[in-house]
Amino acid sequence: MGAGDLDYKQQSQQIEHYTGGLSTTLNLSTSPHDLNQGKQQIKLSSFCLKDNMQPMFKLWSDIFNR
């Protein structure tokens, strides 16, 4: 599964070329006062060289918008 105009292989190559990787983490936490109450959080992380910031953000944008 790719994103935008890229298939999975092309997207993987772009991620490797421009970034040190893209990752997501899901966190579920409950309230210490009410175990029936909780919240969900998604953490997005990636890193790259300064010159590759625009392509990195375009990759994230394509993943979420296309």
What is the per-residue pLDDT across 8-53, written as a single tens digit (0 to 9) for each?
A: 999 999 999 999 999 999 999 988 888 888 899 999 999 999 999 9
- pLDDT tops 90 at residue 58: yes
Q: In the structure, what pLDDT confidence band is assigned to residue 55 with cuts at 50, 70 and 90?
A: very high
Cβ(55)–Cβ(46) below 8 Å: no
Distances (CA, A) of 18 to 23, 45, 56, 59: 14, 14, 6, 9
pTM (2 decimals)?
A: 0.77
Which long-range contacts does 1-10 make (Cβ < 8 Å, 24+ apart)? 3/59, 3/62, 3/63, 3/66, 4/62, 4/66, 5/66, 6/62
Number of domains making up the chain? 1
Range of the domain at 12: 8-65
Residue 49 lies in a domain: yes
Residue 1 lies in a domain: no
Phi, psi of 20 (to 5 degrees): -95, 10
- pLDDT tops 80 at residue 2: no
- Which pLDDT does position 1 carry in this prediction? 66
Residue 3 lies in a domain: no
